[in-house]
Structure 1
Amino acid sequence: MGVRVPPSALNPLVHIKHKRFFFNLLNDKTLEINFDKIENSEALIKISLKDVDYQPQVTEKIKDFSKKANIKGFRPGKVPFGMIKKMYGPQITAEEINKIIGDSLNNYLKESDLQFLGEPVALDPEQPIDWVNQKDFDFTFNVGYAQDFDLKIDKKLKIENQKIKIDEGVMKETLANLQQQFGEITNADAISQGDTIYGVLSAKNKLEDKEVTFELKELHKNVSKKLIGLKVGASMDLDHKKSFNDERYFTHITKLTEEEIKSVKGKFTFTIKGISHTLPAPVNQELFDKTFGKDNVKTEEEFNSKIKETIEKNYEAEAVKLFHHKIREKIIEVTQITLPNKFLKNWLLRTNKNINLEILDKEYNHYQKELKWSLVRNKIAKDQAIKIENEEILNETKVILAQQFGGMAALEQLGDQIDTMAENYLKAENGDNYMKVFNEIQNRKVFGFIENEVTAKVKIVSLDDFRKN
């Protein structure tokens, strides 16, 4: 019999206090719970039940059931207690014991001084359970927990903080992108730089006329050069691994599975069916209005100034993300946190159908980092008394929803509806949305604290260098 304890019941605390714990039941009896450490950050919790711990509840349930049972040969509510006990006693006993075990384990975890990770894993009993004759029961759970750790965050911790220099090259690139974005799309006879190409992909005996569309810029330069000047109807070979800058782009445009791609021996043949060419938009008032709204910009000088301001604002947010990432990585690197890795791996395999050993080996390091950062973040929040009120969570959710509806102006347009929408959003996904917003706010406050404590080493970099991160 297994009992799953929801993560929300796990309380983040630190030291082992109890080797043995007696939990008071409603019938004033005591339930014995033993905690036995088996290795670093891993232990067994054994819960022992005597018949006095569960029998009163079972008897009450049988009496209640006999009053409601409708069995042939007996008037409703007059079925003998003994008959109900014989017919349904084992099932009722199992249900009541399962409830007692679940409640007791939850309460034990809440009152413990340990920060448990994952969920308790019920171990199979040494002997099969006899629900008819057995009086005493023992249930054992394997648990993992995080040991207490020291966290040193001060000026001795030096972390690089990159600031992007917006040079002439970045300005030209951004202007060219805007001209392309708002330019006039035309059909072309031959391929030129910046074009979008439509055609069909085929492979001998494996694939026939698969329609695909891709941008020329996604191809390796040596491949795109060969396409320049080709006309509609022309064909060429494409290698799914070598022709594109990112081989994942090939999967994206073809929607082929990995197995389908692997089944093709050699290269694919691509035949051009259409060429889309964009005439760059001229730099005039129409482009100003399309980019920043009607009459917000009047001159080319204002336009360039606004572009630079927007780039700086956009990349400032990216620079902050990178700085926070470096903070996180550095703190995880210098902080000694012991995790129950064996327990966590077994737990992940048992509770996630989509995870196998291969995926676990590949992803566990990332999972471990996320877990360590969560422990660090919670410790800082606790030590610094960082609190998050429900009103903060609700307001943050309103902003998230407003952005989905086109920006902050949507808050006024939606009026009181936004409150209901925010509340429904937070309740959805079994509370996962609530925790996402909570963690986002907590992260922001924790990083705000860390930024004031560490030494930020500012480094001015070009946009190209920044993109290499």
Structure 2
Amino acid sequence: MNITRNNVDALNAVVTVEVNKSDYADKVQEVLTNYRKNASIPGFRKGAVPMSLIQKQYGKAVLLDEVNKLLQDSLNNYLVEEKLDILGNPLPKVTEDFNWDTDDFKFEFELGLAPEFSVDLAAKTSVVKYNVVADDTMLNGQIARIQKQYGKVVAKDKVEEGNDVAGIFANEERGINNRTTLDLEDLADKKAVKSIMGKKVGDVVTLKTKGLFNDDHKLMDVLNIGHDDVHGLDIEITFTIDEVIGYEPATLDQELFDRLFGPKAVTSVDEMKAKIKEDAERQFAQQADQKFLNDVTEFLVESTKFDLPAEFLKKWIQTTGENPISEEEAATEYERSEKGLRYQLIEGKIMKDNNLQITFDELKDYTSGLIKQQMAQFGQMDPTDEDVQGIVARVMSNQDEVRRLSEQVMNQKMLDLFKDKVKAKTKEVNYEDFVKAMYGELKH
């Protein structure tokens, strides 16, 4: 057997595999001999069927099978030995006049080669790393909501200040028909608030969506519409009131503190505010980290330039599914997946350059931490190590779970690396401005 490679260019190559009769003859003969031993053909005793008859009946099929096995093994070994970094899988070149009746065969395979490139994590970027703080406005609002949540609900005859109003928002032309409960303090349009004040159950109020809230994204929940539809939405909607809800706010006393945070964990309003701030900013930090990771990823995909063997990959896409697809469909799928492929290559390069690896102990410790968090949520604050490790063993016996957890661990390693090496501007914002930044509406 002889294997040679012709590099068409930096991203494409053709591998030629020449298979001689001596490479497969013994194996084919062995298989046919076994067939002869077990063959049951009328007119012949078992094991006494002439080899010529076995050859005639099974020879071609066995030849094809054994040559294909030999091809796969030899090609895979060649790729490993040559340390070729390929994209997709080798694609056999179709030969219209291929002849299986000869003794020696020649097969050609197209390869798509991974590009060579470098990743500069220290390059100048426009990425912003947000430090999200819970300001007094947010904290006071959260305390007011807690007082309302744990207060006494009182049905009201008409809308008064501090009430919530439940009803149906509707606009027939836009297909809007959604029941929601509205906190009047969330409304930015004072005219809208005034038009609702004093109304009773069954009354219908016409409102304008433009400027109804300080943040247009609130319309997504209130009207049950998508993100792309809320920007600049300027229509009239009817609001049919079906319930007016009043509250007697809960007293900020030790009974409420214990109910919220556990016995004596908080003993004053100031401590309550500090606890809410701590918990909120911990959640904000997780969201800010995710945005930072996403933004750096986007920057690296845009700024790291390299070519891909596009035509090869489109051909490969045509062959990967259960059913064949057209060239046009393959081109569309390639366009859709190109950015993801680019980041996979960039991520692999970063991992190799910075020796980012996941050890079994790291994965085990991470899984253990997640399980303890979940158990704490169900009141098991101090589980035994034996119980935790038993669950860890069951989780890690599931390959899909191991893959998912490994991705989470590697994401954290990438995040830590980006925080250390990527030149990003740090900006402190409140949560409202962070949400705007998430949707690209906050200027840096």
| Structure 2 residue 78 is matched with structure 1 residue 108 | yes
Specify which of 13, 30, 34 is matched with residue 5 of structure 2. Answer: 34
- Between the aligned partners of 1:108 and 1:138, the Cα distance in structure 2 is 16
| Structure 2 residue 269 is matched with structure 1 residue 305 | no
Alignment-derived partner of residue 24 in structure 1: none
- Between the aligned partners of 2:358 and 2:318, the Cα distance in structure 1 is 33
Alignment-derived partner of residue 420 in structure 2: 452
- Between the aligned partners of 1:134 and 1:411, the Cα distance in structure 2 is 74
Quickly say closer, same or farther: Cα 1:396–1:143, change in 2 above 3 A. farther
Query: Would the aligned equivalents of 1:288 and 1:298 in 2 still touch at CA under 8 Å?
Result: yes
Instruction: Specify the code of the residue in structure 1 equivalent to 2:421.
Output: E
- Between the aligned partners of 1:86 and 1:459, the Cα distance in structure 2 is 79
Alignment-derived partner of residue 14 in structure 2: 44
- Between the aligned partners of 1:423 and 1:112, the Cα distance in structure 2 is 38
| Structure 2 residue 144 is matched with structure 1 residue 173 | no
Quickly say closer, same or farther: Cα 1:84–1:176, change in 2 above 3 A. farther
Shift of 1:387: 3.0
Quickly say closer, same or farther: Cα 1:363–1:310, change in 2 above 3 A. farther
- After superposition, the CA RMSD in angstroms is 4.8
Quickly say closer, same or farther: Cα 1:93–1:309, change in 2 above 3 A. same
The alignment partner of 1:48 has SS state of strand
Specify which of 281, 286, 289 is matched with residue 320 of structure 1. Answer: 289
Gaps of 5+ in 2: 227-235, 438-444
- Between the aligned partners of 2:197 and 2:312, the Cα distance in structure 1 is 57
Quickly say closer, same or farther: Cα 1:381–1:33, change in 2 above 3 A. same
Structure whose alpha-carbon radius of gyration is higher: 2
Shift of 1:306: 0.6
Quickly say closer, same or farther: Cα 1:274–1:384, change in 2 above 3 A. same
- Between the aligned partners of 1:441 and 1:129, the Cα distance in structure 2 is 50
Query: Would the aligned equivalents of 1:160 and 1:323 in 2 still touch at CA under 8 Å?
Result: yes
Query: Would the aligned equivalents of 2:130 and 2:429 in 1 still touch at CA under 8 Å?
Result: yes
- Between the aligned partners of 2:423 and 2:370, the Cα distance in structure 1 is 32
| Structure 2 residue 242 is matched with structure 1 residue 284 | no
- Between the aligned partners of 1:124 and 1:230, the Cα distance in structure 2 is 76
Alignment-derived partner of residue 94 in structure 1: 64
Specify which of 89, 96, 104 is matched with residue 120 of structure 1. Answer: 89
Alignment-derived partner of residue 441 in structure 2: none
Query: Would the aligned equivalents of 2:39 and 2:47 in 1 still touch at CA under 8 Å?
Result: yes
The alignment partner of 2:364 has SS state of helix
Alignment-derived partner of residue 429 in structure 2: 461
Shift of 1:451: 2.9
Shift of 1:299: 1.6
Aligned positions of 1:44-83 closer than 5 A? 44-83=14-53
Alignment-derived partner of residue 335 in structure 1: 304
- Between the aligned partners of 1:187 and 1:77, the Cα distance in structure 2 is 93
Query: Would the aligned equivalents of 2:168 and 2:240 in 1 still touch at CA under 8 Å?
Result: yes
- Between the aligned partners of 1:73 and 1:411, the Cα distance in structure 2 is 78
Per-residue CA deviations over 1:53-108 (Å, capped at 9, x if unaligned) read 22222221222233334444444444443333322233322322232222223223
- Between the aligned partners of 1:94 and 1:227, the Cα distance in structure 2 is 80
Aligned positions of 1:3-42 closer than 5 A? 30-37=1-8, 39-42=9-12
Query: Would the aligned equivalents of 1:196 and 1:213 in 2 still touch at CA under 8 Å?
Result: no
The alignment partner of 2:383 has SS state of helix
Specify which of 321, 333, 357 is matched with residue 387 of structure 1. Answer: 357
Per-residue CA deviations over 1:330-358 (Å, capped at 9, x if unaligned) read 33333223222333344445435799968
| Structure 2 residue 344 is matched with structure 1 residue 374 | yes
Instruction: Specify the code of the residue in structure 1 equivalent to 2:116.
Output: D
- Between the aligned partners of 1:130 and 1:269, the Cα distance in structure 2 is 76
Query: Would the aligned equivalents of 2:219 and 2:225 in 1 still touch at CA under 8 Å?
Result: no
Instruction: Specify the code of the residue in structure 2 equivalent to 1:173.
Output: G
Quickly say closer, same or farther: Cα 1:68–1:291, change in 2 above 3 A. farther
Quickly say closer, same or farther: Cα 1:273–1:107, change in 2 above 3 A. farther
Alignment-derived partner of residue 296 in structure 1: 265
The alignment partner of 1:413 has SS state of coil
- Between the aligned partners of 2:198 and 2:329, the Cα distance in structure 1 is 46
- Between the aligned partners of 1:224 and 1:76, the Cα distance in structure 2 is 94
Task: Give the TM-score taking structure 1 as reference length.
Answer: 0.69
Alignment-derived partner of residue 257 in structure 1: none
Shift of 1:48: 3.2
Quickly say closer, same or farther: Cα 1:48–1:237, change in 2 above 3 A. farther
Shift of 1:389: 1.2
Q: Number of paired residues?
A: 419
Shift of 1:305: 1.0
Aligned positions of 1:351-362 closer than 5 A? 351-352=320-321, 361=332
Quickly say closer, same or farther: Cα 1:136–1:350, change in 2 above 3 A. same
The alignment partner of 2:116 has SS state of coil
The alignment partner of 1:113 has SS state of coil
Instruction: Specify the code of the residue in structure 2 equivalent to 1:299.
Output: S
Instruction: Specify the code of the residue in structure 1 equivalent to 2:355.
Output: A
The alignment partner of 1:297 has SS state of coil
- Between the aligned partners of 1:425 and 1:235, the Cα distance in structure 2 is 54
Aligned positions of 1:231-242 closer than 5 A? none
- Between the aligned partners of 1:251 and 1:105, the Cα distance in structure 2 is 59
Quickly say closer, same or farther: Cα 1:299–1:56, change in 2 above 3 A. same
Per-residue CA deviations over 1:117-173 (Å, capped at 9, x if unaligned) read 2x2253462226565x34444444333232211233337667532222332112123
Query: Would the aligned equivalents of 2:91 and 2:316 in 1 still touch at CA under 8 Å?
Result: no
Task: Give the TM-score taking structure 2 as reference length.
Answer: 0.72
Q: Which moved more, 1:441-450 or 1:308-317?
A: 441-450
Query: Would the aligned equivalents of 1:202 and 1:269 in 2 still touch at CA under 8 Å?
Result: yes
Instruction: Specify the code of the residue in structure 2 equivalent to 1:84.
Output: I
- Between the aligned partners of 2:73 and 2:381, the Cα distance in structure 1 is 43
Per-residue CA deviations over 1:391-413 (Å, capped at 9, x if unaligned) read 21222233344444455986963
| Structure 2 residue 132 is matched with structure 1 residue 164 | yes
Shift of 1:310: 1.3
- Between the aligned partners of 1:250 and 1:350, the Cα distance in structure 2 is 46
Query: Would the aligned equivalents of 1:155 and 1:453 in 2 still touch at CA under 8 Å?
Result: no
Alignment-derived partner of residue 147 in structure 1: 115
- Between the aligned partners of 2:12 and 2:244, the Cα distance in structure 1 is 62
Query: Would the aligned equivalents of 1:31 and 1:47 in 2 still touch at CA under 8 Å?
Result: yes
Shift of 1:112: 3.2
Query: Would the aligned equivalents of 2:13 and 2:110 in 1 still touch at CA under 8 Å?
Result: yes
Shift of 1:302: 0.9
Query: Would the aligned equivalents of 1:41 and 1:340 in 2 still touch at CA under 8 Å?
Result: yes
Gaps of 5+ in 1: 1-29, 255-266
